Chain A
Amino acid sequence: MRNLRYLLYIAILIVLLTLPIYTGVYLLNVMDMILIYLALALSWDMLVRSGQISFGMAGLFGVGGYAAALLHLNAGVNPIFSIVLGGLAAGVLAWLIGMAVLQLRGMYFAIVTLALAEIFRLIVRNLPDLTGGPEGTVLPSSIFAGNSTKTYWLVLTVAAVSVMASEIFRRTRIHFALTSIRNDEIVAKSSGIDVFKYLVFIFVITSAIQGIAGGAYAHIYGFVSPEGSFSVDFTLLPIAMALLGGMHSTWGPVVGALLLGVASEFLKLKIPYGHLLVYGLIIVITILFFPQGIVGTIGQKLKKTHTA
């Protein structure tokens, strides 16, 4: 059973890696977008496992994007390395903010992250000398000179790193710490868990992933702008994806990102701008009828038939 599962993973990995051989540029571009959202959905879910809900993904995504783009443009940093530094910048920022904001819980934390994302956008917008102000900054060229195969491999790497990070979180003591904190902080503390340290740690890691995704996005499209890089889409879509697929797991957000990503691409063609309405509907239906998401619901069904 276990070997079979590993074989399946390897098969999926081979299909994903060799995708450029049998598909065209259009599908690769769609995949790029889906994989970036997949990384964001996973990073959101990883924080949710501690019970803290962030609405600030767009903020850290934008910060990572701007950091990567500006480091490349002004300091001549290699694009790939600048993406890593974008993640680092988001991580360091999250650490500084987290030390203060992670005293808050639940709704209060969520609202503050939402406000912070907006504050980052406004700061970037009002520093024209550094960031290009409201118009943003255009890079001399897209990464890999726009080569769609290499670009795809880059975002595939970003997504793979997120999946690996999520699995590490699932399989190590971090899983026990986060689940305890989500259930009951007093019990967690009384079991020897340094609650604040774990919350800061997970906030930094997930923010770094968001920063890396933002850096990749900036280099793929070759420009950054306050409205584009900090778009609320980067907060709302990943949440919808994680909810649809199922929270507190790796495969939930992955499945959600693939389904909703493909659906959104299709809907954009059929009903331009109407796709947001469909997202809303999907979220409502998911929460009402299968709050554990697709993966969670199927998992439960399997468990039941297994024990029956």
Chain B
Amino acid sequence: MAILKTENLTRLFGGLAAVNHVNMEFRENEILGIIGPNGAGKTTFINVIAGIYLPTEGKIFFNGQDISELQAHKRCRLGIGRTFQLVRPLQGLSLHENVMVGSLFGKGLSQREARKKAEELCEFLGLSDITRDITRMTALEIKKMEIAHALATQPKLLFLDEVMAGLNSDETMEMIDLVRKIHSQGVTIGIVEHVMRVIRELTDRVVVLDWGEVIAEGPYAEVSNDPRVITAYLGEEA
């Protein structure tokens, strides 16, 4: 069963189609990789799904419900969670409070319940030293905080937008394990990533975007040998 389905999804910025007639399906409980060169429209695609931008054309169905015109905060409450490519910690809130925001509003929990949930999530992700000033956290800790924030909304479908960027190889390994742990809790995951090792190890299926269009789709081993994908990444042979 498809948890999320897009039909002919298009988003124009002026004359530029950042997302161009995309038909994509997220199957329940899979890890789908979304890859493509810089500027291929991966983040815009997530933004259109999350409701930050409305589609210019086409439709989005979440669990069979047409959400194409739904406001972003309502999509979050339905169960679409996401992290941000450029991490955006909320200044003026502690680590736990940052995470609490997700369940306070995404799930309508009380402050007491949200705090408990935040503690659980931080423990689940291996985030300790909770009183720490969020301006002094490491890259890995901030990424984990972002994931905890997104998980606090209890998403059914979670988009991870380049969560491995800026991490060293040990940290990347740790993050891969975490994504598996999250997935094993029954969360469908859409992962945008440039680190191919991550895509190879984690994903069931991969969709390749280029100039806003889907140019290939399938298991990583197949897609990575597709001549169109190689051309998109490496350019035309002279």
Contact = CB atoms under 8 A, between A and B. Distances in A.
Interface stretch (A104-112, A173-181, A257-265, A274-282): A173-181
B90 interface: yes
Contacts of A187: 84, 88, 90
A192 B90 contact: no
Interface of A: 172-173, 176-177, 179-180, 182-184, 186-195, 248
B73 A194 contact: yes
Contact of A183 (B71, B92, B107): B92
Contacts of B91: 183
22 contacts: A176-B104, A177-B105, A179-B90, A179-B92, A180-B90, A180-B93, A183-B90, A183-B91, A184-B90, A186-B52, A186-B84, A187-B90, A188-B101, A189-B71, A190-B50, A190-B72, A190-B76, A191-B101, A191-B153, A192-B102, A192-B153, A194-B73
A191 B76 contact: yes
A172 B104 CA distance: 10
B150 to A, nearest CB: 8
A192 B111 contact: no
Contacts of A192: 73, 76-77, 102, 105-107, 153
Nearest to B47: A186
A51 B86 CA distance: 21
A184 B101 CA distance: 12
Contacts of A195: 73
Contacts of B84: 186-187
Contact of B82 (A172, A183, A190, A248): A190
B149 interface: yes
B55 interface: no
B102 A191 contact: yes
Chain B interface category by residue count: 20 to 34
Interface in B93-141: 93, 97, 100-102, 104-107, 111
A180 B99 CA distance: 11
A184 B72 CA distance: 14
B51 interface: yes
Contact of B100 (A176, A186, A248): A176
A180 B90 CA distance: 6
A249 B50 CA distance: 33
Contacts of B72: 186, 189-190
Given A180-B101, A194-B73, A189 B51 contact: yes
Interface string B199-227: 00000000000000000000000000000
Given A184-B88, A193-B105, 5 more contacts: A179-B92, A183-B91, A184-B90, A191-B76, A191-B106
List the 6 closest A-B pairs by CB distance, nearest first.
A192-B106, A192-B105, A189-B72, A192-B76, A183-B90, A193-B105
Nearest to B102: A191
A190 B149 CA distance: 10
A242 B81 CA distance: 37
Nearest to B51: A189
A252 to B, nearest CB: 14
A179 B101 CA distance: 10
B157 to A, nearest CB: 13
B2 to A, nearest CB: 22
Contacts of B101: 176, 180, 188, 191, 193
B205 to A, nearest CB: 25
Contacts of B107: 192
A177 B73 CA distance: 12
Interface in B21-46: none
A123 B70 CA distance: 39
Pick from A177, A182, A194 the residue with the most CB of B within 10 Å: A194
A189 B47 CA distance: 11
